[in-house]
């Protein structure tokens, strides 16, 4: 019912920036909250950031506060993750997800749909 496609990942040096994009299709984009999660090898999927349906509320993991910014453009059916001052520990596959019902934004298991992920690698 919802398809998500992430893009914007890459290999960058510490201190640089990337902007990830996630384009949604299949349902009315503005009716659900969205989040960004990341998963490093051997680790569980970790909450990064989330944004409410209208974009009025945003939430961040402590590890990225002050460096990452989540935003959405409902007209373009897209959610963004601007990542600044990247660190090697940010290296992971980044996934966007949608939570159609409820708003347990930090819990990966509550999200209903996921994209394929985009790799972010930050070198020292």
CB 95 within 8 A of CB 117: yes
Can you list the pairs that 56-64 forms with residues at least 24 positions away whose Cβ atoms lie under 8 Å? 59/105, 59/106, 63/89, 64/90
Instruction: Note the pLDDT tens digit of each residue in 3-58.
Output: 999 999 999 999 999 999 999 998 777 778 999 999 999 999 999 999 998 888 99
d(CA 73, CA 123): 30
Instruction: Note the pLDDT tens digit of each residue in 73-100.
Output: 988 999 999 999 999 999 999 999 999 8
CB 78 within 8 A of CB 51: no
What is the pLDDT at residue 65? 98
What is the pLDDT at residue 12? 98
């Amino acid at each position: 019912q919802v398809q998500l496609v992430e893009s914007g990942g890459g290999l960058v040096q510490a201190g640089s920036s990337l902007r990830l994009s996630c384009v949604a299709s299949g349902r009315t984009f503005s009716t659900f909250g969205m989040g960004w999660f990341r998963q490093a090898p051997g680790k569980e999927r970790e909450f990064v950031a989330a944004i409410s349906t209208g974009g009025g509320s945003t939430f961040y993991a402590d590890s990225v506060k002050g460096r990452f910014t989540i935003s959405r453009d409902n007209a373009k059916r897209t959610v963004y993750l601007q990542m600044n001052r990247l660190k090697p520990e940010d290296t992971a596959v980044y996934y966007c997800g949608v939570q159609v019902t409820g708003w347990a934004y930090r819990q990966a298991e509550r999200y209903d749909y996921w994209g394929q992920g985009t790799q972010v690698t930050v070198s020292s």
